Structure 1
Amino acid sequence: MTTKQIIFTGGGTAGHVMVNLAIIPEFIKDGWTVDYIGSKNGIEKDLIEPLEGVTYHPISTGKLRRYFSKENFKDPFKVLKGTWQAHRIIGKKKPAVIFSKGGFVSVPVLVAARMRGVPAVIHESDYTPGLANKLAIPFAKKVLATFPETVQYLPEQKAEWIGAVVREELFTGKREKGYELTGFTNQKNVLLIMGGSVGSKKINEAVREGLDELLEQFQIIHICGKDNIDEQYNREGYVQYEYVQDELKDLLVITDLVCSRAGANSIFEFLALNKPMLLIPLSLQASRGDQIVNAKSFRKQGYAKVLEEENLTTESLVTTLSELKKDKYEMKDTMNNYRSSEAKQKVMDMIKGQVK
């Protein structure tokens, strides 16, 4: 029997890789040969290359900016080059199916997949489709949505609501390891603060300016982004990380409350882990507004409080986090009604269902 081949793609931010990280091990376990097409320098390269059993193929890619930049004139040529590179890789590997998590690197891959006659499945985490997925949807057979409301924005014959895919490893954290990593105790609430895979200057500044007040209420794990650690703030009850991968499960198991951006993958993981959250979505100045819509949906369902970035100050952050702490038990009761365990199997079934 010939080994089945699958190619994964997606990148640009950690959010465009997390679902892939959740399901790649399942395909390897089932005996599939797994390849990954990503960018040369994106975060997906750092996250995927260390995986055993996965071959990583870097390609050229454009940025798909919504604003004017001189780079916009170069991007079409980068995308064309990336499409040619992906076409060559697909021709050599002959996958039965391609799965895309989105991000700008996925566009040339989906175009090349159509040229090669290989069926492709897209996963859209956000409430509304991102620009890369909008461009790639015509070349896909199926588009899977995390939010049920997203289906209305997708082609009816391609859309399927499957829910959130959560990495199972996040449920395997060891409490004693979390306390060992941080030096924390169980005597005070642990607050996890993260501003996305590249960090957030504004969140970092507000946290550090209010650190004394916050430390009266919380022990703080601050994932502040690459090159954003500031040693002058080191003190008891406050630990800083640039980015966390393997240890995240151990840190989450001791976490009581989360303060985060509102990327869909992350917030659904916090929901599945029953972590009340304060969401500070990226503003319209810095994004297409997808995080704002994600955050509003979670607030409406009783899973989160929301602080708009325009209203973020040290004072508003401290006040809202105090309110979150006060309401955490009520919020956890609401979260208990959510179940995510079936989504991963649904995604795998959808992907395998496209294989001729």
Structure 2
Amino acid sequence: MSYRILLLGGGSGGHVFPLVAVANALKEKTQQTGIPLELMVLGEGKFMEEAAVEAGLNFKPILAGKLRRYFSPLTILDIFKMPVGFFQALWHVFRFMPDIVFAKGGYASLPGALAAKLYFIPLLAHESDSIPGLANRILGKLAKTVFVSFNSSQKYFKAGKTVLTGNPVRKELLTGDRMAAMAKFGLNPGLKTILVIGGSQGAQKINRIILDSLVMVVKDFQVLHQCGESQYQSIKTEIEKLIKEGEGEYADSLKNNYKLYPFFSEKEMAMVYAASDIIISRAGAGSIFEIAILGKPAIIIPITNSSSDHQLENALEFSKFGAAMIEEENLTPHIIINQIQSILEPDKYNSIGEKLKTFATPDAADKIASALLAPQV
């Protein structure tokens, strides 16, 4: 008889990719031990569905209402989504009837977590950030064990319930070949590469500062820019305008040294990481733990309106290990360029990368997988 594990998640990449990493670790461990394993993902959103399908996982979609601490017209719609999603989760959990449930966190995990509790199925959860959001505080009360990425987040959960694991990272991200990536993206191996990633949904303020800095940056560096699907067309139009205005001056540098993409797939992400020398990113836990395991010097720009300022706290923790942090109100083209030049100083660059690796937790997914496969008492 198969051992059944239900995985809960959805929403942004910060909740999706670690779930895939845990699923992959579970597959590896059960293949080694010969334990028959059945996995099912229950969650919300096209992004979760695409990631699950790409990873070869059985996915069941449900509705999930986001828990907001501010007014939004979407809250009215989400009030109706919550009960519908809960009854959908009750049905799917009943049909699958897992031996154990793992919730990656976020609002998309709540319907399945509540269903698991009603069926008396053991529930384990994971908190990525240094400060948990409302959904994860609720999950923390429902779960038997809460795995955490930051030591500082343990105080938000009941004493004795937390286990410090770090954040699960996909091992596939370490498999990129630098020269193959240079060829694929049309990059010059003789130039330093700045990778800009705004998260799975893009980051408007990061996109803006990169555009404002671009003419100066491409004189000396090349840029790989993941801008988010919603902003891709408007940025592309702006770049075309810049190129037209720069004919005879900087147009050729822009054409050759700037590559714009709406989003990178998992395979592409491994390649862009391999090609990059410096990474500019938001301070989501998923991003900073990926940067750490790669040992790539980074400039971290926390979003100002994140829940409980968790991105600022994440960035402050990460900056202790050598990452540069710039708050949004201090963003200017000159500050960005000065930071890039400072990081690339030969005596500094390698030492930053090595220090960042000490923040990494490459065995986080394995630790969580082992706990999910262990007998529950």
Q: How far apart are residue 106 of structure 1 and its match?
A: 0.6
The verdict on how the C-alpha distance between 1:187 and 1:202 changes in structure 2, with shifts beyond 3 A counting, is: same
Aligned to 1:33: 38
Is contact 1:191–1:218 with CA below 8 Å preserved after alignment? Answer: yes
The verdict on how the C-alpha distance between 1:32 and 1:355 changes in structure 2, with shifts beyond 3 A counting, is: farther
Relative contact order higher in (CA < 8 Å, ≥ 6 apart)? 2
Q: How far apart are residue 197 of structure 1 and its match?
A: 0.9
The verdict on how the C-alpha distance between 1:337 and 1:28 changes in structure 2, with shifts beyond 3 A counting, is: closer
Q: Which moved more, 1:333-342 or 1:158-167?
A: 333-342
- The within-5 A match list for 1:192-231 is 192-229=195-232, 230-231=235-236
Q: Which moved more, 1:272-281 or 1:165-174?
A: 165-174
Aligned to 1:253: 274
| Aligned: 1:300 with 2:299 | no
Q: Deviations over 1:224-267 (max 9, x none)?
A: 10132333166101111111122111111121110000001111
Q: For residues 77 and 184 of structure 1, what CA distance do their matches in structure 2 show?
A: 48
Question: Which residue identity is paired with 2:299?
Answer: L
Which residue of 328, 347, 354 maps to 2:368? 347
Is contact 2:11–2:47 with CA below 8 Å preserved after alignment? Answer: yes
Q: How far apart are residue 335 of structure 1 and its match?
A: 2.6
The verdict on how the C-alpha distance between 1:92 and 1:336 changes in structure 2, with shifts beyond 3 A counting, is: closer
Is contact 2:185–2:259 with CA below 8 Å preserved after alignment? Answer: yes
Q: For residues 15 and 118 of structure 1, what CA distance do their matches in structure 2 show?
A: 25
Q: How far apart are residue 336 of structure 1 and its match?
A: 4.4
| Aligned: 1:102 with 2:105 | yes
Q: How far apart are residue 42 of structure 1 and its match?
A: 4.2
| Aligned: 1:67 with 2:76 | no
| Aligned: 1:325 with 2:325 | no
Q: Deviations over 1:116-170 (max 9, x none)?
A: 1111111111111122111222211110011122212211131111123221111
Is contact 1:96–1:355 with CA below 8 Å preserved after alignment? Answer: no
| Aligned: 1:289 with 2:280 | no
SS in 2 for 1:63: coil
The verdict on how the C-alpha distance between 1:88 and 1:355 changes in structure 2, with shifts beyond 3 A counting, is: farther
- The within-5 A match list for 1:69-148 is 69-148=72-151
Q: Deviations over 1:91-138 (max 9, x none)?
A: 110101111111211111111110011111111111111221112222
Q: Deviations over 1:182-206 (max 9, x none)?
A: 2112212111001111111211121
Compare the two structures and name the one with the higher helix fraction: 2
Question: Which residue identity is paired with 1:333?
Answer: E
Q: For residues 350 and 14 of structure 2, what CA distance do their matches in structure 1 show?
A: 28
Question: Normalized against structure 2, the TM-score is what?
Answer: 0.88
SS in 2 for 1:191: strand
Structure 1's unaligned 5+ residue stretches are: none
SS in 2 for 1:34: strand
Is contact 2:20–2:55 with CA below 8 Å preserved after alignment? Answer: no
Q: Which moved more, 1:335-344 or 1:322-331?
A: 335-344
| Aligned: 1:7 with 2:10 | no
Q: How far apart are residue 306 of structure 1 and its match?
A: 0.6
Question: Which residue identity is paired with 1:215?
Answer: V
**RMSD (Å) for aligned C-alpha atoms:** 1.8
Question: Which residue identity is paired with 1:64?
Answer: L
The verdict on how the C-alpha distance between 1:83 and 1:162 changes in structure 2, with shifts beyond 3 A counting, is: same
Q: For residues 203 and 339 of structure 1, what CA distance do their matches in structure 2 show?
A: 24
The alignment-based identity, stated in percent, is 30
Is contact 1:98–1:120 with CA below 8 Å preserved after alignment? Answer: yes
Structure 2's unaligned 5+ residue stretches are: 31-35, 244-253
The verdict on how the C-alpha distance between 1:281 and 1:95 changes in structure 2, with shifts beyond 3 A counting, is: same
Size of the aligned set, in residue pairs, is: 351
Aligned to 1:242: 262
| Aligned: 1:159 with 2:162 | yes
Q: For residues 71 and 189 of structure 1, what CA distance do their matches in structure 2 show?
A: 43
The verdict on how the C-alpha distance between 1:336 and 1:74 changes in structure 2, with shifts beyond 3 A counting, is: closer
Aligned to 2:355: 334
SS in 2 for 1:10: strand
The verdict on how the C-alpha distance between 1:3 and 1:177 changes in structure 2, with shifts beyond 3 A counting, is: same
| Aligned: 1:314 with 2:345 | no
Q: For residues 341 and 314 of structure 1, what CA distance do their matches in structure 2 show?
A: 34
Q: For residues 288 and 155 of structure 1, what CA distance do their matches in structure 2 show?
A: 19
